[in-house]
Amino acid sequence: MELQSNELSLIIEKVLKEMNKKELKEEVSDGVFDTMEEAIEAAYEAQKKFSSYTIEQREKLIAAMRKAIIDNAMEIANLCVNESGMGRVDHKYLKLKLTAEKTPGTEVLQTTAFTGDKGLTLVENGAFGVIGSITPSTNPAATVACNGIGMLAGGNTAVFSPHPGAFRSSLAMLRALNKAIKEAGGPDNLLTSVKKPSIESTNSMMKNDKIRMVVATGGPGIVKMVLSSGRKAIGAGAGNPPVVVDETADIKKAARDIIAGCTFDNNLPCIAEKEALVVEAVYEELIKEMKNNRAVYELNDEEAAKVAELVLVHNKEKNTYSINKAFVGKDAKYILQNIGKNDAEGVECLIYRAENSHPFVQEELMMPILPIVKTKDFEEALKLAVQDEHGNRHTAIMHSKNVDNLTKMARAIDTTIFVKNAPSYAGIGFGGEGYTTFTIAGPTGEGLTNAVSFTRKRRCTMAESFRIV
């Protein structure tokens, strides 16, 4: 039987439509949508399906996510640095590996039970629903991966709003996670985002009623915004971590640990050593030990002034400083080249003997530059450390063998993380005990977030029954 030409064109049109539909479906199934509204709607529908998943099924998906993070770590670490122009590929890789290995899953969701003459009451950790997660440029992919695991472990789905300056690497991680979830038998769109995140899309996400919790990992501006969003919010904000060294410290180890922490991912982490306060008695010895490391270069006053001119923006009217973003997360060698020093092969850290009032001390530089302030004694070092931390209550570090001094500083500085005799990153489980996270919620008090932070307490009471004694 021969087909009429109009019948043929109808069939072709139908086939093309089907192909088009399929293409569209494939396009959206990676969790990345054209608009924020679509991303939220998809995560909302996905959460309805996900809410019937057992803990065992959630864990199966999380195991697949962990594997996907490791499998894609090198490629995504490269992408992060190429896209944002910040940080170091080797350290971004280590952060992703740490995320895969030490981000808690469902095991932290512990039920509480009260039993007594009146029966049994259970308190369990329930999902919020859809969580909006705003992520930073300084640690894009590891934050998506870490929050992704924690939020799904808590039974939620998540809509991500990555920093526009690092959205490709953030979306690459999100796509890799969704692919792994799907291959492990999970539903589409547990993690969603938009093709081109912007300030506007973040704002519309915060206002959408289907978002039941907002989590901001970033600077003070965005933390303030989520706290006034009118919904449950977790704010993980800026730090300016001081490291104190007293006369009882193991100076060789202190020098090594401080440089290791300060240079990790070119000082981008919010927990990284940003300034050192060192007692007079060991000041010279510490600097000498640091300089024994060939990757450390000491800036003289003239060079420091040139670096300051480059990396800081001075508002002369108000006499305030802000950071020149073009230098955030850059290699020490690159900073030196920009002040005309071209023989800086192998340099990873710039140190400088600074006054405490110097902007290198006071501003959160996020560059491998360590100002070192000399203090009369431990009491003065502690007083200045508290001032320099600016009440962020984020992270502080101390090198000492004097238990009384360590205790005094831990109490006075009042930070979420306090690291003793180790590089700062030991405080997030890298070379130290405990789990990891890249969302450290000082302002709202959850501390090192995990699946529990992303759940709501629900109580169920059975009166007069279910006691066994």
218 part of the interface to ligand NAD, by CB under 6 A? yes
415 part of the interface to ligand NAD, by CB under 6 A? no
Neighbours of 270 (CB within 10 A): 29
Q: Between helices 55-84 and 89-102, what is the axis angle to 10°?
A: 170
| Contact (Cβ atoms closer than 8 angstroms) between residue 179 and residue 61 | no
| Contact (Cβ atoms closer than 8 angstroms) between residue 372 and residue 354 | yes
Smallest distance from ligand NAD to CB 167, Å: 9
Smallest distance from ligand NAD to CB 51, Å: 27
For residue 357, CA distances in Å to 219, 268, 275, 320, 410 come to 22, 22, 11, 12, 23
139 part of the interface to ligand NAD, by CB under 6 A? yes
Strand partners, 351: 298, 370
Which of 207, 314 has the CB closer to ligand NAD?
207
b/e map of 78-114 (b: 16 or more CB within 10 Å)? Answer: ebbbebbbbbbbebbbbbbbbbbebbbbbebbeeeee
Q: Is the dihedral of CA 277, 282, 288, 292 positive or negative?
A: negative
Distance CA 87, CA 77 (A): 10
Which of 41, 364 has the CB closer to ligand NAD?
364
Distance CA 158, CA 189 (A): 9
Piece of 43-51, 61-69, 93-101, 220-228 that binds ligand NAD (CB under 6 A): 220-228
Distance CA 167, CA 101 (A): 24
Number of residues in the chain? 469
Smallest distance from ligand NAD to CB 244, Å: 20
31 part of the interface to ligand NAD, by CB under 6 A? no
Distance CA 420, CA 437 (A): 19
Smallest distance from ligand NAD to CB 420, Å: 20
- Dihedral angle, C-alpha 438, 238, 108, 147, nearest 10 °: -40
Which of 80, 279 has the CB closer to ligand NAD?
80
Smallest distance from ligand NAD to CB 114, Å: 34
447 part of the interface to ligand NAD, by CB under 6 A? no
146 part of the interface to ligand NAD, by CB under 6 A? no
440 part of the interface to ligand NAD, by CB under 6 A? yes
Smallest distance from ligand NAD to CB 464, Å: 46
Smallest distance from ligand NAD to CB 331, Å: 18
Among 3, 55, 199, 460, binds ligand NAD (CB under 6 A): 199
- Interface of this chain with ligand NAD, residues 227 to 266, rule: CB under 6 A: 236-239
Piece of 30-38, 56-64, 161-169, 343-351 that binds ligand NAD (CB under 6 A): 161-169
396 part of the interface to ligand NAD, by CB under 6 A? no
Coil, helix or strand for 255? helix
State the residue number with the nearest CB to ligand NAD: 218
Distance CA 262, CA 274 (A): 7
| Contact (Cβ atoms closer than 8 angstroms) between residue 160 and residue 135 | yes
- Interface of this chain with ligand NAD, residues 257 to 316, rule: CB under 6 A: 270
Among 202, 356, 444, 453, binds ligand NAD (CB under 6 A): 202
- Interface of this chain with ligand NAD, residues 43 to 72, rule: CB under 6 A: none
Residue that is written with structure tokens 């996400």 in the block: 205
b/e map of 443-462 (b: 16 or more CB within 10 Å)? Answer: bbebebbbbbbbbeeeeeee
Contact letters for ligand NAD, residues 340-379 (x by CB under 6 A): ------------------------x---------------
Residue that is written with structure tokens 């919020």 in the block: 128
Smallest distance from ligand NAD to CB 343, Å: 31
| Contact (Cβ atoms closer than 8 angstroms) between residue 450 and residue 99 | no
Among 47, 103, 106, 135, binds ligand NAD (CB under 6 A): 135
Piece of 9-17, 137-145, 207-215, 316-324 that binds ligand NAD (CB under 6 A): 137-145
Among 137, 267, 356, 450, binds ligand NAD (CB under 6 A): 137
Q: Between helices 280-292 and 251-263, what is the axis angle to 10°?
A: 60
Smallest distance from ligand NAD to CB 49, Å: 28
Piece of 22-30, 307-315, 436-444, 451-459 that binds ligand NAD (CB under 6 A): 436-444
Residues that bind ligand NAD (CB under 6 A): 134-139, 161-164, 199, 202-203, 217-219, 221-222, 225, 236-239, 270, 364, 438-440
